[in-house]
Amino acid sequence: AVAFPPIYFPPAPAPAEGPSVTIPDIPGTSGYNISEFIVVVGFGTPSQPSALLFDTGSDLSWVQCQPCTGHCYQQNGPLFDPTKSSTYDVVRCGTPECSVAGGMCNGTTCLYQIGYGDGSSTTGALSQETLTFSSSRTFSSFPFGCGTTNLGDFGSVDGLLGLGRGQLSLASQTASSYDGTFSYCLPSHNMSRPGFLSIGAAPDTGKVQYTAMIKKPQYPSFYFVELASINIGGYVLPVPPSVFTSKGTLLDSGTTLTYIPSKAYALLRDRFKFTMKGYKPAPPSEELDTCYDFSGHNAIFIPGVSFKFSDGAVFELDFFGIMMFPDDAQPAYGCLAFAAGDDDSFSIIGNTQQRSAEVIYDVAAEKIGFVPFSC
């Protein structure tokens, strides 16, 4: 069983391995009206701060830019102003970067256009600029989108930081200097410890469980893993591994919930309900159909949940990776943070399940590691 409030044991300091740089991350629910996670970096010389959601499911980073000739949504800070930077430049047509971005042009200026799965989009000039990642580390001539038509729900962030597998992502652009590795820890719901995003080698604490990073040619930017089974309170869901492996499983920082095949979800939900008989059921909340009213309880006990992968690696979820409390106005209202996915598509391990674990993307070695209870 997993109890809340959880008991934390501070990790022993580990020796650093190779070059790395780390910045804090925060939930987008903390003032940005989105369910993804945010880092603040700088663009330009002098640096103009930008609060960006970071996304392992997309490549090109972008910010909203002046002059906003199409449509810009309301963001918390000022728009990036290229005219105030001495290091800004557009990417020219005919360059390799322009070809990777799709090869669209307006005169000699390369353009970019990106559409996301939820229907949102961004369009503008493909550009390059000095990216200030931290006070001690900058990346010059970093390719990014200077977005002048940005449509859809991005909350009130300034743009997006792409961490996908494609050539234009931050992960790929920094691979030669930082061993092709990055990691993050998404802070737990109760924010007991700060989260972080690191570029470079993660210290080996001996607690990491690595699984193979799977490539799917039809989704070149995505990071897949081979989920084989789910354990809930010592009970392994009675479905064959092929239920998960036939379509594969996407690991994504930009999706909130975890979506699994409907047959597996029904078994998980029913087992969860069976172990939660001592708590009062509550109405569903949108996709979350297994909810409870925990009013009057000083502690909540739920069954532990872990993912097991085909190569034997195990990822144990945090309390807030299993339960979600979707309404701040009702702090005692909690729901199982899983949903039934599209059986014709891959499963997705979303950011709720990843909270409080350090997730290590060793792209060079094609493996992904999990270190539970790291933030």
pLDDT class of 15 with cuts at 50, 70, 90:
very low
Q: Which fold has domain 203-372?
A: Cathepsin D, subunit A; domain 1 (2.40.70)
Per-residue pLDDT of 317-362, as tens digits, reads 999 999 999 888 899 999 999 999 989 999 999 999 999 999 999 9
Q: Where in the chain is the domain with CATH 2.40.70.10?
A: 20-198, 203-372
Amino acid at 350: G
Can you tell me the mean pLDDT for 41-66?
Answer: 96
Can you tell me the mean pLDDT for 127-143?
Answer: 92
Q: Is residue 55 flagged as an active site residue? A: yes
pLDDT of residue 4 exceeding 60: no
Tokens in use for 263?
A: 């047959």
Question: What number of residues does the chain have?
Answer: 375
**pTM for the full predicted model:** 0.91
- Catalytic position from the list 59, 158, 179, 252: 252
> What architecture (CATH level 2) is domain 20-198?
Beta Barrel (2.40)
Instruction: Supply the mean pLDDT for the chain.
Output: 92
Can you tell me the mean pLDDT for 101-118?
Answer: 94
Per-residue pLDDT of 185-203, as tens digits, reads 999 876 667 899 999 877 6
Q: Identify which of 109, 139, 142 has the alpha carbon closest to the alpha carbon of residue 124.
A: 109
Distance CA 200, CA 59 (A): 18
pLDDT for residue 190: 66
- Catalytic position from the list 55, 59, 158, 362: 55
pLDDT > 90: what percent of the chain? 82
